[in-house]
Amino acid sequence: MGHPSRVTKELKSSTLSALVEAHPRYEEIRKLREEAEALITLRDKFKKPTPQLKRGLREEEILFLASRGKGLRGDISKNHARACPMDKA
């Protein structure tokens, strides 16, 4: 234990940081951590739908309309009626 910058050179190899970095799988874990941080950064770029943005739609309806490039009010260029195959069951 001990803060790495306050440990003498002779004892540095005994610190927890040095022991962790010397572990055979340390490089694999470091890469996984970088990958996880990149995914977290990517996740934060997207907006979580709030009830206000959902406009009363179910998750299935949102995904169905999004797959066709439409919103609740229809296509970006034209108005189309709200349609979801789940409602026909």
pTM score > 0.85 for this model?
A: no
Measure the CA–CA gap between 2 and 14, rounded to whole angstroms. 9
Question: Over the stretch 21-68, which tens digit does the pLDDT of each residue have?
Answer: 999 999 999 999 999 999 999 988 887 766 766 677 788 887 888 888
Per the model's pLDDT, the better-predicted residue between 48 and 20 turns out to be 20
Measure the CA–CA gap between 69 and 11, rounded to whole angstroms. 62
Measure the CA–CA gap between 40 and 67, rounded to whole angstroms. 24
- Token digits for 40? 């977290």
3-state SS of 27-42 is: HHHHHHHHHHHHHHHH
Contacts 24+ apart (CB under 8 A), 44-51: none
Q: What is the pLDDT of residue 46?
A: 82
Q: What is the pLDDT of residue 79?
A: 42
Q: What is the pLDDT of residue 77?
A: 46
